[in-house]
Amino acid sequence: MEIIMPKMGDAMSEGKVVRWYKKAGDAVKKGEPVLEIETDKVNLDLEAEQDGTLAEVSAAEGEVVPVGGRLAVVLAAGEKAPEPSRRATDRKDSVKHSTGEYGEAVEMKGPRVDRAAAPPVAANVVAIPAAGGRRRSSPLARKIAADMGVSLDQIQGSGPNGRIVASDIKNVGVRQAPSPVAMKAPGGQAGAPVLHAQSVPLSAMRRTIAKRLAESTGPIPHFYLTADYDVTNLLSMRTQLNEALGAKLSVNDFIVRAAALALRHHPAVNSSWSDDAISQHGEIHIGIAVSTPEGLITPVVRNADQKSIADIAAEVRSLAEKAKNRKLQPHEYQGSTFTISNLGAWGIEEFTAIINPPNVAILAIGAAEARPVVNQERQIVVRDRMKITMSCDHRVIDGAAGAEYLKTLRQYLEQPIRLLL
Amino acid sequence: MSEMSYRDAIRAAMMEEMDRDPSVLIMGEDIGIYEGTFRITAGMLKKYGAKRVIDTPIAEAGMVGTAVGMAMLGLRPIVEMMTVNFAIVAADQILNHAAKIRYFSGGQVDIPVVIRGPHGAGVQLSAQHSQSFESFYAHFPGLKVVAPGSPADAKGLLKTAIRGKDPVMFLESAALYGMKGEVPDDPNFTVPFGESRLAREGRDATIVSWGRMLQLSLIVAEKLAKDEGIELEVIDLRCLRPLDMEPVYASVSKTHRAIVVQEQWKPFGPGAEISASINERMFDELDAPVARVTGEDVPMPYARNLELLATPHEEHVVAAVKRVLYRE
């Protein structure tokens, strides 16, 4: 508990410490005088308001302290010390002049307090005031928000003390503009959320996570999550559809659609990293790793979440053919927002894939195999299983977020009727 | 055009005007036989004689009072102050007489007096001789206050001052006397008062400055463009009164951020006036508070190292730029 300079009458703005009865480290009892202060009218003793230890003496005898300023801290047993009060710190400056007859470029090191500067503000500390509190915002930001009909209430400010600045509003404006996806009648999944393009400003924590992880493992800090899916129903449905339609749908076509639909629930996975912000994309374009004699290329199925499995199958086949003949146009292999690599046809049980920048995640699809598993009735049964490993960019996706995506993916793969809705 | 120092540009302006108009004369301490403490008037006594290049006693109030009387009777005197600091001895003549006689005379009498001399810090002249007076003189209606930041502007603005009909405080940056630059040779080249100049085009933030701080700002702008891709727009005010803020407003409406760089003390300085004007006119365009870079709030030290510490340097401007860009 702090002892502060009390306000004794309206006119009082400061008071002086006359003497300390206790010194730091002394035990004090509730009601016991700790120090004497002097105001412009009276001298009086200030008492401890609780039993404890005088942990900090914040003002020396003779020092003048403003009303409300901390004089001392009394800690009860087990109580933790409050943050030390902020003090101006001297900065070491390198001083250089290079103009006119001053121009002999004198350089020197020395302490200089820049009183002209605003008080230091920790970079990117975002303080969101309590509901109903005033939101700090720049005049320009307010003007832009009013012009765009955007409310400041839900915007996170990236400036000092959470100040909302113009760039924060502009990013929100992009999100609130009707996106092409929202305009179209969704070609898939009633009830699935609609994505919006948006730029999520980097929080201080997100910046730190990004920096630290990148330092430890290279430009993209990867981590990997593997899930084992029951694809018995999916394989069965594929057989039925191929027979009924006379089609040649591959397992991968189902996975492309499932992955795309699952992305609509997890915009953070369908995004890109940059040093200033994470761009969440408003559309879902799935890159599909195709091996060619020259090497790997990833043609892109655009708006895959809005296409039927049959459409995806036809498109992938055409793209793969072009890829093998080196006929892909740039627009057919650029602009993916997420990538799938499938080595199931090679009998690979599971593997990890390297993220395809600027994507922040990739799925590595293993082979579907009949395997003995223990079912809910604790019986051993034969089921078709498939392992999928997701590589995540940890700058953007944390472990739980990646796991949530794989969990959503499970709904689509294990209840494949959803893929037809 | 020819390359010329700021010092030589000032002398050239005075000599061209003395050649053009026999009513122009100059007076001051040690400007004749000694040829000027800063050698601004070198050769002038020899060329124009003691009637037009007048060595005065150390009596600034007398000098300005005499000049005001000369101006009332049709001459165009230039008064050289050994440093502008000494003009405060003549403050009553400047503020209460030169600045007010046209008003008191109902517009019948003009006072075309130019009071000029080295101004500001940077040449180790200590606390009494290194001060900046922009805000002091620009406060008063009836005066013009000019602060050139380049040799060409020094020449063009001084010629406008000599040809005008108002008392002018012509504040020369002592630290720029040796600075060289291209200066038009045309004897009719003048720079009008009250026209701020776009000194550098940019997009990210606007620096407003004048005099020596203009040169500092330009150096910082080039450095930030090269090192960090920050493109600063720099506005050179050139005159503090009349003060042309329109280019500043236009620039701020583009960059949404402004920094004023002034050499001396922050309280009540020109930066406060400029910042307040931006707030009044451009409030809705601002994405960050207007920043001020100023000297330290102390009498100017004599010691070289301390004088350097007391005046703005490049790192201070860089820090202010980053502050308004939220890139700290």
Domain range annotation of chain A: 2-75, 122-177, 202-420
Q: Where in chain B is the domain with CATH 3.40.50.970?
A: 2-183
Q: Is the peptide bond before A201 cis (omega within 30 degrees of 0)?
A: no
Q: Pick the closest to residue A260 from A320, A329, A187 (CA basis).
A: A187
From chain B, the residues in CB contact with A146 under 8 A are none
Closest residue of chain A to B306, computed from CA coordinates: A110
**Which residues have C-beta within 8 Å of that of residue A113, sequence separation ≥ 6?**
A88, A90, A91
CATH of domain A122-177: 4.10.320.10
Neighbour tally for B155: CB within 10 Å: 28
Which residues in A lie closer than 8 A to residue B175 (C-beta atoms)?
A: 99-102
- How far off is chain B from A96, nearest CA to CA, in Å? 6
pLDDT at A99 over 70: no
**CATH architecture classification, A202-420:** 2-Layer Sandwich (3.30)
Could you give the CA distance from residue B301 to residue B102 in angstroms, rounded to a whole number? 40
CA-to-CA distance for A345 and A231, rounded, in angstroms? 15
pLDDT at A95 over 50: no
Contact B27, B77 (CB under 8 A): yes
Dihedral over Cα of B89, B94, B97, B100: its sign = negative
What is the rounded average pLDDT of the residues A107-113? 44
Tokens 């390198």 identify what position?
A94
> For position A11, what pLDDT does the model report?
67
Report angle CA B126, B129, B130 to the nearest 5 degrees.
Answer: 75
pLDDT at A213 (0 to 100) = 63
Q: The tokens of A149 are what? A: 């009909």
**Residue A175 amino acid letter:** R
Q: How far is A97 from chain B (nearest CA, A)?
A: 6
What token pair was written down for B79? 């008064």
ipTM greater than 0.90: no
Please state the rounded mean pLDDT for residues B126-143: 96
Q: How far is B19 from chain A (nearest CA, A)?
A: 30
Put simply, whether A121 touches B (Cβ < 8 Å) is: yes
What whole-number distance in Å separates Cα of residue A15 and Cα of residue A62?
10
How far does B228 lie from chain A, in Å, by closest CA? 15
Confidence of residue A97 (pLDDT cuts 50, 70, 90): very low
B127: Cβ contacts below 8 Å, ≥ 6 apart? B299, B300, B301, B302
CA distance A209 to A211: 6
End-to-end CA distance of chain B: 43
The answer to whether residue A114 scores a pLDDT higher than 60 is no
Neighboring chain B residues of A158 at a CB cutoff of 8 Å: 326
Query: B304: which chain A residues are within 8 Å (Cβ-Cβ)?
Result: 106
Cα-based torsion angle of the residue sequence B100, B102, B106, B107 in order, rounded to the nearest 10 degrees: -150
Put simply, whether A122 touches B (Cβ < 8 Å) is: no
Q: How far is CA A15 from CA A4, A18, A45, in A?
A: 10, 9, 12
Record: contact B174-A101, CB cut-off 8 A: yes
- State residue B210's pLDDT score: 97
Q: Where are the alpha helices (DSSP H) in B195-303?
A: 211-228, 246-255, 270-282
- The overall average pLDDT reported for chain B is 96
Which residues does chain A have within 8 Å of residue B215's beta carbon, measured at their own beta carbons?
99-100
Please answer yes or no on whether A116 and B309 come within 8 Å at the CB atom. no
Of the listed ranges A107-116, A405-414, B63-72, B208-217, the least confidently predicted one is: A107-116
Active-site annotation of A, residues: 394, 398
Do A99 and B176 count as a contact with CB atoms less than 8 A apart? Answer: yes
Mean pLDDT of the B296-325 span: 95
**Category of B29 on φ-ψ map: left (φ > 0), alpha (ψ -120 to 50) or beta:** beta
Strands B114-119 and B76-80: parallel
Lowest mean pLDDT among A110-114, A211-215, B114-118, B187-191: A110-114
The pLDDT score that the predictor gives to residue B155 is 98
**Cross-chain CB nearest to A100 (options B176, B288, B316):** B176
Lowest-confidence region among A151-155, A351-355, B242-246: A151-155
Interchain CB contact of A141 with B (< 8 Å)? yes
Please determine, for residue B218, whether its predicted confidence score (pLDDT) is greater than 60: yes
Residue with more model confidence, A201 or A321: A321
pLDDT digits 0-9 by tens, A333-356:
889 999 999 999 899 999 998 888
Q: Report chain A's mean pLDDT, rounded to a whole number.
A: 80
Inter-axis angle of helices B314-324 and B211-228, to 10 degrees? Answer: 60
Q: What is the pLDDT of residue B297?
A: 96
CA–CA separation, A160 and B324 (whole Å):
10
What's the average model confidence in pLDDT over A167-185?
Answer: 53
What is the pLDDT at residue B253?
94
Closest partner CB to B305 (pick from A108, A140, A158): A108
Question: What pLDDT band is residue B66 in, cutting at 50, 70 and 90?
Answer: very high
Please give the CATH topology (third level) of the domain spanning B197-324.
Answer: Rossmann fold (3.40.50)
CA separation, residue B71 to residues A335, B76, B108, B113, B192 (Å)? 76, 6, 12, 7, 21
Task: Give the model's pLDDT for residue A131.
Answer: 46
What value does the mean pLDDT take over residues B203-220?
97
CA dist A81 and B64 (Å) reads 66
Cα A157 from Cα A137, distance rounded (Å) = 8
Q: What is the reported pLDDT for A201?
A: 76
Q: What angle, rounded to 10 degrees, do the helices at A139-148 and A166-176 form?
A: 10
> Given CB atoms, is A166 within the 8 Å cutoff of chain B?
yes
CATH number assigned to the domain with residue range B2-183, chosen from the 4 options 3.40.50.970, 3.40.50.450, 2.40.160.50, 3.40.50.150: 3.40.50.970
Chain B within 8 Å of A108 (Cβ-Cβ)?
A: yes
Mean pLDDT score, A132-141: 79
Asked whether the predicted pLDDT for residue A212 surpasses 70, the reply is no
Q: Is the pLDDT of residue A236 over 80?
A: yes
pLDDT at position A43 is: 76
Residues of B whose CB is below 8 A from A106: 304-305, 308
Q: If you measure CA to CA, which chain A residue comes closest to B5?
A: A100
Verify whether the Cβ–Cβ distance A97 to B179 is below 8 Å: no
Q: How many angstroms away from the CA of B32 is the closest CA of chain A?
A: 24
Specify the higher pLDDT residue, A94 or A415: A415
> Which of A145-154, A251-260, A308-317 shows the lowest per-residue confidence on average (mean pLDDT)?
A145-154
Please give the pLDDT value at position A90.
Answer: 36
pLDDT category of residue A216 using cuts at 50, 70 and 90 = low
SS3 for B92?
helix
Model pLDDT, residue A200: 80
CATH tag, A2-75: 2.40.50.100
Predicted confidence at residue A92, as pLDDT, reads 38
